[in-house]
Structure 1
Amino acid sequence: MVLIIKQRAILEEFHQKLQTLELYIKIAVDIERGILAGGGEKHAESEAALLEDGSRQRDIWGADWTPFDQSIAYESIINIRPSQNNRSMVIQGPAIRERVKKITQELIGGSEPEFR
C-alpha cells in the first residue's frame, strides 16, 4: 500500500500501514512540493502515486527510510537521470540529498543521512 504524506505523520499509524518490506520503507520525495509517498515494493510505485497527485517527475527522488534508526539511504533506480546530471542510483547532488533529508525528517522522522 502506497501512502502520500503531505503533513507530519503519526509514526505508529505510518508503521502499521507500511509493512511491505518490514525493515525499511521505499519512499519517493517531491522536493518542490515538500511531500513524499512510501510503502510499495518499488520506488516506482511511490513515484507513480506522486505523479498521479500532480508532481513532476524531475522533482521526485527515491530513497529508503529505516524506521528502527530513522536513517535515510539515497539510492533508487528512479534516481538515474543523466539529463539532471545524476548518472547513478545514488542521489549525487548534495542540495537534492539535503532537500530529501529535510522533507523526510519533517514528515516521517529521520536522523543524519547515511550513504549506503
Structure 2
Amino acid sequence: MVLIIRERATREQVEQMLQTLQVYIKVAVDIEKGILAGGEEQHAYCEAALLEDGSRQRDIWGADWIPFNQTIAFESIINIRPSQNNRSMLIQDPVIRERVQTIIQELIGGYEPEFR
C-alpha cells in the first residue's frame, strides 16, 4: 500500500512503508509540492499515486530511503527521462538530487526502525 506523506510522517507510517521491503523504502518525491509517496515494491507505483493525486510527472523523482543508516540512493527507472536531460537511472542534476534529499529527510528521515 502506498502512503502519500505531506507532512512529517509518524513512526507508524514509516514502519508501515517498511513492511513491503523490510530494509528500505522506495519513494517517489514531488519536488515542487514537497511531498512523497512510498511503501510499494516499485517506484512506478509510488509515482502513479502522486500522479493520481495531481502531481506532474516532470516533478516526480524516484529514490530509496535506507533508514538503518539514514542514507538515500538516488536511482530509479522512473528517473530516466531524456526530455529533462536525465539519461540515467541516477538523478544527475545536483539541484534536483538536493531537493529530493531535503524532502525525504524532512518527511521520513531520522526514524530508526524497530528491530523485528
Residue identity in the other structure for 1:16: E
Structure 1, residues 19-38: CA drift from partner, whole Å, max 9, x if none? 10001100000000000000
Distance between the aligned counterparts of 1:20 and 1:26, measured in 2? 9
Structure 1 partner of 2:113: none
Structure 2 residues not aligned, in runs of 5+: 111-116
Structure 2 partner of 1:63: 63
Structure 1: 4+ residue segments shifted above 2 A: none
- The correspondence of residues 17-32 of structure 1 with structure 2, limited to 5 A, is 17-18=16-17, 19-32=19-32
8 A contact 2:14–2:108 mirrored in 1: no
- The correspondence of residues 1-116 of structure 1 with structure 2, limited to 5 A, is 1-10=1-10, 12-18=11-17, 19-109=19-109
Residue identity (%): 75
Distance between the aligned counterparts of 2:105 and 2:14, measured in 1? 15
Q: 1:86 Cα deviation (Å)? A: 0.2
Normalised to the residue count of structure 2, the TM-score between the two structures is 0.91
Distance between the aligned counterparts of 1:69 and 1:14, measured in 2? 18
Q: 1:81 Cα deviation (Å)? A: 0.4
Normalised to the residue count of structure 1, the TM-score between the two structures is 0.91
Q: 1:16 Cα deviation (Å)? A: 2.6
Structure 1 residues not aligned, in runs of 5+: 111-116
Residue identity in the other structure for 2:55: S
SS of 2:50's partner is helix
